[in-house]
A and B are shown apart, each in its own frame.
Chain A
Amino acid sequence: MEETYCPLCGKPNPIDNKFCDFCLAHLHPQEGGSTDSEALSIPGIEDNQDGLGGHESDSNVPDWLSELQQSNEMENEETLDSESELGQPANAISDWMTGVSGDGEATVGEVSPTAPFLPDQGINESQDIPHWLNDSLIEEEDQDLLEDERSGEVPLDGEGRDVSRGDSSSPEISEDISSGRENAGPLAGLRGVLPAEPGAARVRKPRTYSAKLKVSTSQRAHIDLLNSLLEDEGQPQPLPPRRSISQQHVLRWGIALVLLMAILWPIVITSHEMPFPDYDEGSAEVNRLISQLPENARVLVGFDFEPGLAAELDTAAAPVFDHLLSEGALLTLISTSPSGPILAERFIQSIQSDQKLIYGLEYVNLGYIPGGAVGLLSFIENPQGTIPFTIDGLSAWETEDRNGLPATAGIDQITDYSMVILLVDDPDTARTWIEQLGPTITNPQALMSFVLITSAQLEPVVRPYYESSPQPVNGLVVGLRGGAAYARIIGSDDFPGRSWDAFGMGTFVAALLILVGGLGYYVIPELSRTARDQEKVKR
């Protein structure tokens, strides 16, 4: 069975159908052409229209209506003539409708959207508009547009759009709207009315657009550059070759060699050339305190320094302990550092060749006090309860149920010691000892003194305590210089002159290296820069 497709809804219908079964639209355009209103008209309504104004039913029209119709036809005769000139199918429109809407083309040149109503006033551009108004109110550009529209030449842009209307819609729609006019219904004669079924009857093939990206030459160049950058980012860049021997390496090794030679030289030649310092106030005060100790005085010695500074502190403390043991002092060794007890034992071993100390009788090692400041305070408050045994597990103190060691005999509290000597290299440790022991030392009733033997780096930290009043620190031996001064005071020849000479040579060369090297490192580049500047000026 043959079928035809509805131009409105696109659904299939039998070919014999005049109207679509689905939307009731005309399936076949009538011969001689028809207006859109007819093609899209609904049969029932069309019948009514025919009944009202169609020529076929003129016989049924009353006289008064026929006269009215004839008068309308006479009034709109001119309009019908113009439509006939434009090729419009005037006979396809009902007469009464033609009288309402047939004047459209006569007002093509009107810019206003209400142009269809203007011809009713019978306006003639050349006659009714004054010349002065025409020239002054209508600008030149508008006049050009008017002329273009009259001549049917509408200025178009590159894509065929109407430039004069600023229309950005598609050319088809723009053309339909510009030329379309409603021919039926209450909006008949109006221009630019949107159709009731817009574009549905005009099934056209949609415009195809290219899916390919249009890229200009410059854009292509930028794309290539970006691609090359991204590819380079992913590629590992080889590091610049590292020089095995740089200037810094040479300088460091040079400093180390010069310093090593300066220190080794006095040791190798074994000649004592550096004089001991004449006088040191802190060392002299320590000497005075030790000289005033009673016979067999109990002395508490704290070893709180790191093994790395053992050479300096052992050397500085050696003359002090020579003097101390010569006075018959009995030593109690203790430490708040885990490595302190063995450092104390090592120090005692180093002076054994001269003093021949007997363990337990002349000295005792109590070992390590855990807890830092708390442990030290506990020991100061209650020595026997805090450290009841020596490092060897012997009973350290004499009590009712056990015998103690002779070196600690008669010690019940911290004030029973005549002197406390601390070997220290750390400012925090020194401060802890001074703060915990200070109240006891500064107590006028306590006949006890506190002496520090410190590393040279600690002098600024401990000197305020030594110079304050009342003194929590009664004596101060600082570094090798203090030890050498003490050796000179007691007239001891045991102070190692080689160590003193190496120390003196080392400090001298270190100062020289900093001074000369620093100036050379700064002056030489400045001089070379000045020379380059002068050469540039000459050129």
Chain B
Amino acid sequence: MRNPVYTAIAIGVGIVVLLGYFLQFDLLVNLRIVFLEWATILVATALLIGVVNLFIVHWRKSTTDQPNRVNSIALLAGLTITMGVAGWFGPTDLYSLWIFNYILIPIEASLMGILSVVLIYAGVRLLRRKPNLLSIVFIATAVIILLMTGPLFGIDIPGLAELRIWIGKVPAVAGARGILLGVSLGIIAAGLRILMGADRPYGGN
């Protein structure tokens, strides 16, 4: 049986927050602010719970004889050291910045570098795997954007810069606007479903 209390709370809060956008009554505005602050606190608490749960799960994995337990041990060590340094010296201290500058950023930057190599490799093989018109258009667009985004040694190819601007402003923007419109409609539909009780992500079946 569906729990009507959860549904009533969710719909009531949603309607109050929504009405606060349209009706500038002090009561509605203040209620909306309070609800938003509560939501922020709840999300922060959920984040803490997630970190604790992560620690517990990998602690169990590291203390039992399981495959890849070395990964769990490394995760626990990194988590403990980082939390210890940031908690003791402060998150903006030089030690914390050292961990960030010399461990986190190089790892993520190297992943981006690998991604660039993989994308170029995929572009090279694209014509071999799918030699059709769409592939040719894709490759031509990528080459034009890459060439004209960079300085190209100061060489001015007539029409290419204008073509790059046109691609960036017309086809790319048209596609992006279509995506944004679709996302907006989806969000509106999801919000209405939750307000009407048809969709209950908070539980109660």
Which residues on A are within 8 Å of B, measured CB to CB? Answer: 251-252, 255-256, 259, 273-277, 306-311, 338-339, 341-343, 345-346, 349, 365, 367, 369-372, 374-375, 377-378, 381-382, 385-386, 391-392, 431, 456, 459-461, 463-464, 467, 479, 481, 500-501, 503-508, 510-511, 513-515, 517-519, 521-522, 525
How many Å from the CB of B81 to the closest CB on chain A? 15
Can you sample 27 A-B contacts with CB below 8 Å? A259-B120, A273-B153, A307-B104, A308-B109, A308-B112, A341-B91, A342-B97, A345-B97, A371-B42, A371-B43, A371-B44, A378-B37, A381-B33, A386-B40, A391-B91, A392-B92, A463-B173, A464-B177, A479-B149, A481-B150, A504-B150, A507-B146, A507-B150, A508-B146, A508-B147, A511-B143, A522-B127
Q: Are the CB atoms of A518 and B44 closer together than 8 Å?
A: no
**Nearest A residue to B180, CB-CB:** A464
- By a CB distance below 8 angstroms, the chain A residues around B173 are 460, 463-464, 467
Question: How far is A341 from B150 in the complex, measured between Cα atoms in Å?
Answer: 31
Task: Out of A367, A459, A506, A517, name the residue touching B124 (CB < 8 Å).
Answer: A517
Question: How far is A42 from B155 in the complex, measured between Cα atoms in Å?
Answer: 131
Q: Does B175 contact A (CB under 8 A)?
A: yes
**Which of A349, A459, A460, A463 gathers the greatest number of chain B CB atoms within 10 Å?**
A460
Q: Are the CB atoms of B117 and A252 closer together than 8 Å?
A: yes
Decide yes or no: A503 and B33 within 8 Å by CB, A375-B40, A378-B40 being known contacts: no
Which residues on B are within 8 Å of A, measured CB to CB? Answer: 32-33, 36-37, 39-40, 42-44, 47, 90-92, 96-97, 100-101, 104-105, 108-109, 111-112, 116-118, 120-121, 123-128, 131, 139, 142-143, 146-147, 149-154, 168-169, 172-173, 175-177, 179-180, 183
How many Å from the CB of B102 to the closest CB on chain A? 11
Q: Are the CB atoms of A504 and B151 closer together than 8 Å?
A: yes
Question: How far is A342 from B97 in the complex, measured between Cα atoms in Å?
Answer: 7
- By a CB distance below 8 angstroms, the chain B residues around A378 are 33, 36-37, 39-40
- By a CB distance below 8 angstroms, the chain B residues around A518 are 123-128, 139
Question: How far is A378 from B37 in the complex, measured between Cα atoms in Å?
Answer: 6
Nearest 4 A/B pairs, CB to CB: A308-B108, A507-B150, A378-B36, A517-B124
How many Å from the CB of B75 to the closest CB on chain A? 16
**Nearest A residue to B144, CB-CB:** A511
How many Å from the CB of B50 to the closest CB on chain A? 11
- By a CB distance below 8 angstroms, the chain B residues around A431 are 180, 183
Q: Are the CB atoms of B131 and A463 closer together than 8 Å?
A: no
Question: How far is A439 from B149 in the complex, measured between Cα atoms in Å?
Answer: 33
